[in-house]
Structure 1
Amino acid sequence: MTSKSASRIHKELEMLHKRPIKGVTILPVQDDLHSLDTIVHGADESLYKGGRFKVQLLITDQYPYEPPEVRFLTPIYHLNVCQKTGQVCLPFLMKDKWKPTYTFEHILQALYSLLIKPEEGNAFEHSLLNEFHNYSPKYNQKAMDSASKAKA
C-alpha cells in the first residue's frame, strides 16, 4: 500500500472516530489497513431492528482510486446482498462508478440506509426481488428472522 493511500485511510478512520455514524460501530483496525470491520445495527424503523451485522470492507492498494469490496459477514436476508457471499450491490461501489472522493463514511451511511430501505433497482438476486414485490409478508418475515439471529 502506498503511503498516500495509508495516509488517506488513517485520516478517514480518524474522522469516523471523531464523528461516529449513527447505527455503525467501527471495530479495531488491522495493522495492514487492508480490512475494516464494522457492525451495522438494524434501525428501529426497519425489518432488521435489533440485528447486529458484521460488515467487512476489503481495501485494495489502489484505494481511494478503486472501491473497497463490501460484504456482510453476518448472514442477512436482503435483496441488495448476495445470499452466498454477502457482497453488497450498490452502484457507486462498482469500479466504473466509483469516485476517489467517496469515503468510508459514505459507504457506511449507505449500508445503514439500505437496512431501512432496500434499493429495488439494485437487487443482487432476482428471486429475492420477486419475493419482495409479490410475496412481501414472506420476504419481511425472512428479513426479520435474519435480524433476530444477527448478533455479531
Structure 2
Amino acid sequence: MGSRKRINNEIKEIMKDNNLKKNHWCIELDGENTSHFFGKIHGPPDTPYQNGVFRIDISIPERYPIEPPKCKFLTLVWHPNVSSQTGVICLDLLTKDNWSAGTTIEALLRSLRSFLSSPESTNPQDGSVARQYRTNRQLYDRTARYWTYYHAMNDETRKTVDKNQFQESTD
C-alpha cells in the first residue's frame, strides 16, 4: 500500500471517532493536507500534566510508514524528553531505528500521552529539566504543573485548579 493511501486510510478511521474528551487524543487536519496535521492529547491523570491539553505538530514523510512522522509539541511542556524551547521530542519510537511500519498515528498519539507519564532523565532532550527531575522531584512536579496550568489549560479549566499547588511546601 502506498504511503498516501496508508495515511489517508488512517485519517479516515480516526475521523470516525475523533473525540478528545472520549479518547483523550484527537487530530486536527490542516485543510486537505494529509501530510501535515495536528494532534491533541490530554495530560494523563495523576501527573503534573493532568487537565492539560497538549497540541502536537505532526508531519508525515514521503516514506511513511517506513519512516516515522516528525513530531514536536506546540504547547510548551516541562518534561526532560521535550525541549522547553522548541518542543522537539526525544522518544525512541520516533527514530528510524526504532520505528515500526505497523505503528499507526492513533498508536503514536497514545504513546505520546503515555510518554508524558514516564520521563527518562538519563537520555534527555532538555538537560536542565532532567537535572531538576533527578535532583529535586518536588520542584520538578511543581514546575511542570505550573507550565501545564499556564500553557496547556483554557480559562474554564484553570478555574477548577487550586493555585496553591504552585507554592513551595513548608513541610
| TM-score, L = length of structure 2 | 0.79
* Percent of residue pairs bearing the same amino acid type: 29
Mapped partners of 1:45, 1:22: distance in 2: 17
How do 1:40-51 and structure 2 match up within 5 A? Answer: 40-51=41-52
* Contact 2:78 2:147 (8 Å CA) reproduced: yes
2:153 aligns with: 151
* Contact 1:69 1:87 (8 Å CA) reproduced: no
RMSD over equivalenced CA pairs, Å: 2.0
1:4 aligns with: 2
How do 1:67-86 and structure 2 match up within 5 A? Answer: 67-86=68-87
Mapped partners of 1:37, 1:66: distance in 2: 18
AA partner of residue 48 (structure 2): L
Report which of the two structures shows the higher radius of gyration computed on alpha carbons. Answer: 2
Unaligned runs of 5+ residues in structure 1 are none
| TM-score, L = length of structure 1 | 0.87
2:169 aligns with: none
Unaligned runs of 5+ residues in structure 2 are 155-171
* Contact 2:66 2:101 (8 Å CA) reproduced: yes
1:38 aligns with: 39
Q: Using the TM superposition, name which of 20-29 and 134-143 deviates more.
A: 20-29
Listed one character per residue, the Cα deviations across residues 80-129 of structure 1 (whole Å, up to 9, x for unaligned) are: 10122101111121122222111112211111102222234442122222
1:16 aligns with: 14
Mapped partners of 1:63, 1:126: distance in 2: 31
* 1:147 Cα offset (Å): 0.9
Mapped partners of 1:99, 1:44: distance in 2: 28
